[in-house]
Structure 1
Amino acid sequence: MIAFYENRTTDYHCRSILPGRSRIQCAAHLHTHIELVLFLEGHCTAFADTERCEINGGDVFIAFPNQIHRYESYDKERYRLFIINPDILPEIASIFTDSHPTSSKIAGAAKDPEILALAERLAALDSESGPYLEVRRHGYLMALLGRLLSQMVLTKTVPDDSHALKTIVNYCAKNYTSDLSLSLLENELHISRYYISHLFSDKLQIGFNDYVNSLRVSFACNYLRYSDRSVTEISDLVGFGTLRTFNRAFLKQMGRTPSEYRRMKREAHSAEKTQRKESL
């Protein structure tokens, strides 16, 4: 299964889902954030790298930064999802970048009253305003992750295929606007170009060039949705050499041209605003 790099544009995201509203199922992906799911009701299968976890109501699933993860849904679910940039928690950030869990499943952790209370307070903050909101959020996140980490067994990350892949993915994420090539990465990271090519085809089931293009397209989608920059300007901003290459790569990944994508998203946003007004 092809795993795509997901460009997270915010440092923190919280979502609470009621049964039947939205399934957690999603394709294999990776990003530089911590992904934490408190599964309250229902059942799903979650994957982190090569680990398969059967997640039931009351369990917690956590994916560390740059772990390839995905979910398969079967029925109605209720869960809280937190996506957190470890950089906003510098006191413990190295734990998430320099180690990994022996298992991404923490059985029964979502039944812990302390964990539930902290998750509820974090979710409630999204509807609050006022001074020191970020200070409070930081405190709740530290307490929540501290409680969860105390129930996990961590292993120091050692250089292997997964470590090399994370190093390469991190480099690509930071330099996607540059003219990336296997030769460049070989010189910069001191990793054989043939080994890099093997990692992408074996671990992500995608060629290196297609991966870089998918990364650039991911960033381009944000520009198309949230800015008024022209398609040509966006093509240059995300590192495509020509507009033709950009259009071809975008169509391959998204199934439509950049202009069609922008129009579709804006029409959907406009319809959503109209629906909200009519419901008032």
Structure 2
Amino acid sequence: MFPVYEEKKENLHLHSRIARHESPHLHNSVEFIYLTEGCLELGMGQELFHMEEGDFAVLFPEVIHHCQVFSGENNKACYLWAQPILCGQFASVMQKYCPKNPVIKKPQVHRDIVNAIRCLKLDKKEQNPNLVVEQAYVQILLARSIPAFNLQEKSSVESNDIIYQTVSYIAKHFKEEMSLEKMARDMGVSKFTLSRVFSGTFHRNFNQYLNEQRLNYVCVHLECTDKSITDISMDAGFESQRTFNRVFRERYKMTPREYRNLYREKFVLQNEII
């Protein structure tokens, strides 16, 4: 059975609910799980990781994972999904790497993590979403959790699943000149099989998926560096400035320069608020 690809439409999702079985899936967001009651088994790759009350886990984007609940007691958790746009400079790390063990045990969970989750839950309850505030709290979660992990390349997580291999291959090669035919040849599958994976699982074609990964890289560097937009787009693998401008505008409804200026205005505002 193929894992399910879940595309999160909003920048931030947050739910507190009973922990339950979840079949293998992956998504374009980073997922945080804070277990508030009971226990949970979190599967990533070929491994199963035990979680108990107070433990905190981070699942990087495009990593196949699943959940199992074997205990009959009450098992509750807070689940939070954040799009790459909220992750700032951490997005480039999560694009290529993932934790060997995604679980941080309760004694090692930094108090800032608990406070950030509490504040995000309060904002959601008050129905007062704010992109700048969401970015700040999500980046606190990442800043306090990533140093606790032993990171590995996504491609090193053993799996014979064609979907995971597809995700890993593009994460490793998206900066290079790529084609569906070359990718299929390198993976040892037919281009028709690979095409069905993109259309049937990711609900987009090869070029659309590839461009999305390149745009994630572009946005991180627009936000966090002073490199020229042309250099950033070329580093990301876009060979044509015209193609880059078109796909960027289609996704973000603005030009790359407008995006960079808007982010910097919000950054200044955030600092003034703090």
TM range (shorter): 0.5 to 0.7
Quick one: distance in 2 between partners of 1:35 and 1:160?
A: 18
State the 1:216 CA deviation: 3.4
Give secondary structure in 1 for the equivalent of 2:68. Answer: strand
The residue aligned with 1:102 is 100
Aligned to 2:131: 134
The verdict on how the C-alpha distance between 1:193 and 1:149 changes in structure 2, with shifts beyond 3 A counting, is closer
Q: Which amino acid in structure 1 is aligned with residue 130 of structure 2? A: L
Q: Could you tell me which residue of structure 2 aligns to residue 39 of structure 1?
A: 35
Q: CA deviation at 1:67?
A: 0.8
Distance in 2 between residues matched to 1:89 and 1:25, nearest whole Å: 27
The answer to whether the aligner puts 1:212 opposite 2:207 as a matched pair is no
Give the whole-Å Cα distance in 2 for the aligned partners of 1:186 and 1:105: 38
Secondary structure (helix, strand or coil) at the match of 1:2 reads coil
Q: Please point out which of 150, 155, 170 is paired with 2:152.
A: 155
Which residue of structure 1 aligns with residue 2 of structure 2? 2
Deviations 1:176-201 (A, max 9, x none): xxxxxxxx7224x3x41762469x8x
The 5 Å alignment of 1:189-268 reads 189=183, 191-192=184-185, 195-196=188-189, 209=196, 212-216=199-203
CA RMSD of the aligned region, Å? 3.3
| One-letter amino acid of the counterpart of residue 2, structure 1 | F
Residue aligning to 2:46: 50
Partner residue of 2:263?
A: none
Which AA in structure 2 matches 1:185? L
Give TM-score scaled by structure 2 length: 0.59
Secondary structure of 1:10's counterpart equals coil
1:66-113: CA deviation from partner (whole Å, max 9, x where unpaired): 111111123321211111112322221111112111211112268543
Larger radius of gyration: 1
CA distance in 2: counterparts of 1:114 and 1:90, whole angstroms: 18
SS of 1:150's equivalent in the other structure is helix
Identity %: 19
Cα contact 1:23–1:73 (8 A) shared by 2: yes
**Distance between the aligned counterparts of 2:5 and 2:29, measured in 1?**
11
* Distance in structure 2 (CA, Å) of the matches to 1:115 and 1:54: 19
Secondary structure at the aligned position of 2:148 is classed as: coil
Q: Which runs of 4+ in 1 moved over 6 A?
A: 159-163
